[in-house]
Amino acid sequence: MSKASFTSRRAPAHHYVLAIILAAILTIVVSVLVGATNPNDFWLAASIGALCAAYPAMSLGAKVFVSNHTVTLDAHGEQSVELQWMRQAGAGAFLDVLVVIVVASLVLAIGRLEVDALPILLGLVALSAVDAGLRYVAVRHRALK
């Protein structure tokens, strides 16, 4: 390969530095906030918060500052088969969750039942995640048969 046809897929060096700076700032902010919520064990909580925040913060820094130079977008990415399967699964799961919400609302209204909202909302989140996952597996299985 000649030098003239070679194109670099690296970001400028200062973009990597900016990504690291952003990651450090976000990690410090999260760790201080986590530590502040547990003043009795501030340093332990802050350390755990920093460990949990470091990787996502670095990923965000790389996305914001580096990926524009290193990642080539697929011109036809919106037409991928997997994306179509995910859209079908998401649409079906949305309708399933909507039906569950309507039925549950009617049962609660007719039965004049009072329940805490948090368990219901967490159940709906779990239902939607499981439903979308199962629908995706089913759509994929049918398409690959």
Read off the pLDDT of residues 41-79 as tens digits, 9 standing for 90 and up.
999 999 999 999 999 999 999 888 888 777 666 677 677
Nearest one of 140, 105, 106, 107 to 124, comparing CA atoms: 105
Q: What is the pTM of this model?
A: 0.52
CA 115 to chain centre: 29
The sign one gets for the Cα dihedral 20, 21, 24, 26 is negative
Q: What is the DSSP letter of 73?
A: P
Question: What pLDDT is attached to residue 2?
Answer: 41
Helix (H, G, I), strand (E, B) or coil at 80: coil
